[in-house]
A and B are shown apart, each in its own frame.
Chain A
Amino acid sequence: MPKPFYKKLFEKIIEGILALSGSITSLAVLLIVIFLFKEGLGLFNRSPISEGYVLAVNKSNPISKIDANLVKQIFDQEITNWEKVGGKKDSIILFHLDDINSIYTEAQIGENLENLPTCISNVVDSIGGIVAFVPKSYIKSDFKGKVIEPVNITPKEFLLGKEWYPTAEPSAQMGILPILLGTLWVSLGAILLSLPLGLAVAIYMAEIANARVRNIFKPIIELLAGIPSVIYGFFGLVVIVPLIQTVFNLPVGETALAGSIILAIMALPTIITIAEDSLRTTPRSMKEASLALGASRWQTIYRIVIPYSISGITAAAILGIGRAIGETMAVLMVTGNAAVMPHSFLEPVRTIPATIAAELGESPKDGLHYQALFILGSILFIMTLIINLTVEYISSRNKLGKR
């Protein structure tokens, strides 16, 4: 008997809905990735000078291009002579717009600032070593000085720059190395703490604990995975941070170590669950064979069970790192968030997710800072992508390797 028409139609509709949900999900992932890169990549080949401003020098000054980092040093008065930046031997004189009042009277400038462009032009023309940081709108066509171009932000400078002052004036500093290192630092610490502990728990649960103990432990560990990260942050702030402060006798307890400890606790459920599952795949016959040869239970675990499930354990560790790298809230709360190069675990650090979360709200859309944060997001995405691909590779190799 052929199926009635409405039944066929119904099945078709269901199939369509299922297919649609699948494609919508994949599309969403794709869109997020495209969005991330599209927003971020505009950063490169943009001038690091604050928008709407220019740097102007006397026209006798041979310099026409200048590095963003040097601009900062000049305005911080760390560099005081043009010789250092490749110019003539002449001391640098800084000029901000406010300084105009000390040279010209209000009457000279004019009630509605109508003479301001001319005044600026005259100042720049009269002082040889001047560098003026002034709004672009005051540079008219008859400007007697020279506008210098800062070197645009390059990917190399972005990745390897050691200073992150995205809103600094006159020139933003977009070096993400401290943030990148901060992220890796905290994650590395987390995995060093959580892997031994997680593995120990996994071994205990898979090989030693009896069914009753396991039935108590398992839900508790799963509960650990369900605690919101802001609660972990609370816990870290109230318990771990003061503890670190007193134990190591530090001025502040908000350090990379605090972040690592919190992340280690957060990564534990992932590591334990995956490692335990993989330890359990060791065939019973193999364990029996080992025991039957007079090996003790512990010898069987470290000579047979762990080598057999090593790829699963590796996957657990890598996924644990993945969890740690992407975590935002708890880390933001306990690491102190200083974007400086980390030298030890007892210093404040700042991670990529924490940077994005803390700064995105304050950065104007499509501005330099905004785009830099999106690049940071893209880098984070690439890191987790690499992690996931590694896990995929390890587990596929595992399937082929065993009978």
Chain B
Amino acid sequence: MAKIETLDANLFYGDFHALKNISMQMEENTVTALIGPSGCGKSTYLRLFNRMNDLIDSTRITGQILVDGEDIYRKNINVDELRIKVGMVFQKPNPFPKSIFENVAYGLRVNGEKNKSYIEDKVVQSLKQSALWNEVSDKLTKSAFELSGGQQQRLCIARALAISPSVILMDEPASALDPLSTAKIEELIHELKKEYTIVIVTHNMQQASRVSDYTAFFYLGELVEYGQTVEIFTKPKLKHTENYITGRFG
């Protein structure tokens, strides 16, 4: 069974048809990259899986979106629980105006975790997992805003990991970072793949080819081509995909 699956997923913003009949499957413990020019719907597609599109007024969704075989748009689903299972890292680092510790502990606290030592263990573990521990271990009580952009983004990853999700959605996680920080994030994605299913939206072709196992090319709300990253980047089936990947348009 695929970890994530969509069947004829459609999404409308009012009259605008943003996603058109997308059917895709993503396997557990793989990294899937969503690529395509701006406005092609890849971020919108990503946000289907933790129901982030709900925040926008007048969106309408049809088709089936399954996580662990469960329709996440059916009635009576607990969206908060879904979002614990499906974590997300955003384009710009967006730590809370709290201490580094409290940023990571936030997800645990809002989900009712009261056990202090458990929270502490989990924070340390998440910071280690996101390769930030060595840099912040002595300043956990400092404001998260004192960190650099790259560190903030890794903090946001730690924050997402703390509530033990099984899927991590990443919406251009390195687009606001310098090359060195980007390399660290990519390295991290490699590590995380062992335990998590990762879906990543990126504008950076090299990044897609470096970090992902599968790549999906979106264009104007449609899924143009989807397959193993190696194949997409070396012998794409469609001319359109090839043109985009080689930078001839986009």
Q: Interface residues, chain A, CB within 8 Å of chain B?
A: 210-211, 283, 285-296, 299, 303-304, 307-308, 402-403
Contacts and interface: CB of A to CB of B under 8 A. Distances in A.
B82 to A, nearest CB: 8
Q: How large is the interface on B (under 10, 10 to 19, 20 to 34, 35 or more residues)?
A: 20 to 34
Given A211-B57, A299-B110, A403-B145, A293 B94 contact: no
B83 A293 contact: yes
Nearest to A284: B55
Contacts of B95: 289
Given A292-B160, A304-B96, 16 more contacts: A210-B57, A288-B88, A289-B94, A289-B96, A291-B52, A291-B83, A292-B83, A292-B88, A293-B83, A293-B84, A293-B106, A294-B107, A294-B110, A295-B110, A303-B109, A402-B97
23 contacts: A283-B94, A285-B90, A285-B92, A286-B94, A287-B55, A288-B88, A290-B110, A291-B52, A291-B83, A292-B50, A293-B84, A293-B107, A293-B111, A293-B160, A294-B107, A294-B110, A294-B111, A295-B80, A295-B107, A303-B106, A303-B109, A304-B96, A402-B97
Q: Which 5 A-B pairs have the closest CB atoms?
A: A293-B107, A295-B110, A285-B94, A294-B84, A292-B88
Contact of A289 (B111, B156, B163): B156
Contacts of A295: 80, 106-107, 110-111
Contacts of A293: 83-84, 87, 106-107, 110-111, 159-160, 163
Contact of B90 (A288, A296, A299): A288
A303 B163 CA distance: 17
Contact of B87 (A283, A290, A292, A307): A292
Contacts of A303: 106, 109-110
Contacts of B90: 285, 288-289, 292
B81 interface: yes
Contacts, number: 69
A294 B92 contact: no
B59 to A, nearest CB: 13
A50 B81 CA distance: 79
Contacts of A308: 97
Nearest to B83: A294
Interface of B: 50, 52, 55, 57, 80-81, 83-84, 87-88, 90, 92, 94-98, 106-107, 109-111, 145, 156, 159-160, 163
Contacts of B87: 292-293
A148 B127 CA distance: 83
B94 A307 contact: no
Nearest to A283: B94
B110 A307 contact: no
B80 A294 contact: yes
Contacts of B96: 286, 289-290, 304
A162 B236 CA distance: 91
The winner among A291, A292, A402 for most chain B CB atoms within 10 A is: A292
Nearest to A295: B110
Contact of B55 (A288, A296, A307, A403): A288
B100 to A, nearest CB: 15
Contacts of A211: 57
Contacts of A299: 110
B52 A290 contact: no
A314 to B, nearest CB: 15
Nearest to A293: B107
Contacts of B84: 293-294
Contacts of B94: 283, 285-286, 288-289
A287 B55 CA distance: 10
B119 to A, nearest CB: 14
A318 to B, nearest CB: 22
A403 B143 CA distance: 11
A273 B63 CA distance: 42
The winner among B52, B80, B92, B95 for most chain A CB atoms within 10 A is: B80
Given A285-B92, A288-B52, A289-B90, A294 B163 contact: yes
B222 to A, nearest CB: 26
A402 B94 CA distance: 13
Contacts of B50: 292
Contacts of A304: 96
Contacts of B110: 290, 293-296, 299, 303
A392 B34 CA distance: 47
Contacts of B156: 289
A291 B145 contact: no
A210 B88 CA distance: 25
A283 B94 CA distance: 9
B46 to A, nearest CB: 11
Contacts of B83: 291-294
B32 to A, nearest CB: 18
Contacts of A296: 80, 110
Contacts of B160: 292-293
Contacts of B163: 293-294
Nearest to A292: B88
Nearest to B87: A292
Contacts of B107: 293-295
A216 B171 CA distance: 36
The winner among B87, B92, B96 for most chain A CB atoms within 10 A is: B96
Nearest to A310: B97
A210 to B, nearest CB: 6
A397 to B, nearest CB: 14
Contacts of A402: 97
B71 to A, nearest CB: 19
A283 B90 CA distance: 13
A23 to B, nearest CB: 41
